[in-house]
Chain A
Amino acid sequence: NAGVTQTPKFRVLKTGQSMTLLCAQDMNHEYMYWYRQDPGMGLRLIHYSVGEGTTAKGEVPDGYNVSRLKKQNFLLGLESAAPSQTSVYFCASSRGARGANVLTFGAGSRLTVL
């Protein structure tokens, strides 16, 4: 049981380039999330999804887009990368909301934008 898998693990981009981070979960979870982690900032929610075909904005959505075409996959896209998007990105999934909202995290994707 792989849990939550993120690809790629590392990526270096030049300013203005685009890329997509892929998150896959095999636990049949309804909810999926993308966070970014920056030193001293904790984790901040970028976008989330409460089910296949749905997405919603989180705390810091600007510059990112997401899609949830299949229940098991949640894609995070950067349309035109900026140095401010240098960060570690974590995908997470959960079975449900509130008290059932125990998150299972991926191992992270480290993105550097030059």
Chain B
Amino acid sequence: DTAVSQTPKYLVTQMGNDKSIKCEQNLGHDTMYWYKQDSKKFLKIMFSYNNKELIINETVPNRFSPKSPDKAHLNLHINSLELGDSAVYFCASSQVRYNSPLHFGNGTRLTVT
């Protein structure tokens, strides 16, 4: 009965590869997000989707492409991975019109070697 689940939990890959992180929420929320937490623990928004529509895109390299097949899913695909992409990526969801707080997934630790 996990509210926001993301897979995989750990992802180790080499530079230049393409990888995806999947996220699903079963809270019935209409908005989903990707946040990035760097090695200094700083959290910053990357994208948000509301009912499958891209709302926020925070100056993220176009190697990062979010995809929302429906409002319960928001996947993150990363092309041509670079060392600097190593971070923890958090998926989150909320129901903005009801002012619900963001519920975060447990994070995916991406290590690029």
Q: Do A and B associate with each other?
A: no
Interface residues in chain A, defined as those with a beta carbon under 8 Å from any beta carbon in chain B: none
